[in-house]
Structure 1
Amino acid sequence: MSQIWFALAASLTVFMTSFNGVHAQSITDVERLFSNLMVGYSKMFRPVLNQSKQVIVVPGLDIVSIQDFNEVEEKISFTALLYLAWNDERLVWDPKDYGGIDNLYIDVSKIWAPQLMLTNVVNKNERLSEDWHTVRVNASGWCLYVIANVFTSSCDVDVTFYPWDTQTCSLDFMPANYGVDKMILYPIYHKVQLTYYSPNGAWDLMDTSVTSELYSFMVRFNVVLERKPRFAIVNVILPLIIMSALNILVFLIPTECGERISFCLTVLLSIAVFLTLVGDNLPKNSNPMSLFSYYLVSVLAISAAITLSVICSLHVYHRSEKQQPGGAWRAIAMCLECYYVRRTGSESADRTNRSDKIKFARPENASHRSSHGMHSIPYSSHTNRGVILYRPTHSYGTLPSDRPEDKPLQKKETDDSDSSVLEITWAEVSIALDKVFFLFFILLLITDTLCFLIIIYHNVSL
Structure 2
Amino acid sequence: MGRPHYGRFWWFIFLTFLSIFHGSALVDQNRQIEQSILKDYNKRHRPVKSDSKQMTIPVFLMINHVEKVDELEQTMLLHGLLWATWEDEYLRWEPSKFNNTNMISIESWKIWQPSFALYNSAKSNGWYLHMQGVPATVMYSGKVYSSGSFSFHVTCLFDYTDYPYDIQECPIVIADWIYDLSKVNLSNPLKSDSKPIIRLTFDPIRNESKKHVAGSENACI
Indicate the TM-score class for this superposition, using the shorter chain for normalisation. Answer: 0.7 to 0.9
Residues 1:69 and 1:205: Cα distance change in structure 2 (over 3 Å): closer
Residue 108 (1) aligns with residue 118 (2): no
Q: Which residue of 1 aligns with 2:123?
A: 123
* Matched-pair contact (CA < 8 Å) for 1:65–1:200: no
Task: Map 1:192-341 onto structure 2 (within 5 A).
Answer: 192=195, 194=197, 196-198=199-201, 199-202=209-212, 203-204=217-218, 223=221
State the AA in 1 paired with 2:106.
I
Q: 1: CA distance between counterparts of 2:34 and 2:61?
A: 29
Q: Which residue of 1 aligns with 2:149?
A: 148
Separation of aligned partners in 1, 2:74 and 2:198: 27
Please provide the CA RMSD for this pair.
2.2
2:91 match: secondary structure? coil
State the match for 1:164 in structure 2: 165
Deviation of the 1:81 alpha carbon? 1.0
Unaligned runs of 5+ in 1: 1-22, 207-222, 224-462
Which residue identity lines up with residue 111 of structure 2 in the other structure? I
Q: 2:102 & 2:134 partners in 1: Cα distance?
A: 20
Instruction: Figure out how many residues of one structure are paired with residues of the other and give that number.
Output: 185
Which residue of the partner structure matches residue 206 of structure 2? none
Structure number with higher strand proportion: 2
Residues 30 and 98, structure 1, Cα contact 8 Å, conserved in 2: no
Aligned to 1:77: 77
Q: Contact between 1:66 and 1:78, CA under 8 Å: does it hold in 2?
A: yes
Distance 2:196 2:170 in 1: 16
Does structure 2 conserve the Cα–Cα contact (< 8 Å) formed by 1:155 and 1:170? yes
Task: Measure how far apart 1:183 and its partner are.
Answer: 1.3
Q: Distance in 1 between matches of 2:82 and 2:28?
A: 33
Partner of 1:183: 184
Task: Give the partner amino acid of 1:111.
Answer: I
Contact 1:62–1:192 (8 Å) recurs in 2: no
Q: Cα offset for 1:122? A: 0.2
- State the SS of the aligned residue for 1:169: coil
Greater RCO, 1 or 2 (C-alpha within 8 Å, sep 6+): 2
AA matched with 2:183? K
State the shift of 1:116 in Å. 1.1
Structure 2 equivalent of residue 42 of structure 1: 42
Q: Determine the structure 2 residue equivalent to 1:174.
A: 175
Please give the alpha-carbon distance, in whole angstroms, between the structure 1 residues aligned to 2:109 and 2:93: 21
CA distance in 1, matches of 2:163, 2:83: 35
Q: How far off is 1:102 after superposition?
A: 2.4
Q: Is the 8 A contact 1:61 1:193 kept in 2?
A: yes
- The residue type equivalent to 1:74 in the other structure is Q
Structure-1 separation of matches of 2:198 and 2:116: 23
Q: CA deviation at 1:162?
A: 2.3
Quick check: which has more Rg, 1 or 2? Answer: 1
Q: Is the 8 A contact 1:63 1:192 kept in 2?
A: no
CA displacement at 1:175 relative to structure 2: 0.9
Shift of 1:123: 0.6
Q: Structure 1-normalised TM-score?
A: 0.38
Match of 1:168, as an amino acid? E
Structure 1 residue 74: Cα displacement: 0.8
Distance 1:46-1:93 versus aligned 2 partners, 3 A rule: same
Task: Give CA-to-partner distance per residue, 1:373-411, whole Å, 9 cap, x none.
Answer: xxxxxxxxxxxxxxxxxxxxxxxxxxxxxxxxxxxxxxx
Q: Is the 8 A contact 2:30 2:105 kept in 1?
A: no
Question: Percent of aligned pairs with the same residue?
Answer: 24
1:166 positional shift: 1.3
> Aligned with 1:39: secondary structure?
coil
Give the CA deviation at 1:121: 0.4
CA distance in 1, matches of 2:52, 2:197: 37
Change (3 A) 1:193 1:116: closer
Q: Distance in 2 between matches of 1:177 and 1:128?
A: 13
Matches within 5 A, 1:367-406: none
User: Which blocks of at least 5 consecutive residues in structure 2 are unaligned?
Assistant: 1-21, 202-208
SS in 2 for 1:32: helix
TM-score when scaled to structure 2?
Answer: 0.75
Cα distance in 1 for residues equivalent to 2:151 and 2:219: 17
Q: Give the Cα separation in 2 of the matches to 1:126 and 1:160.
A: 30
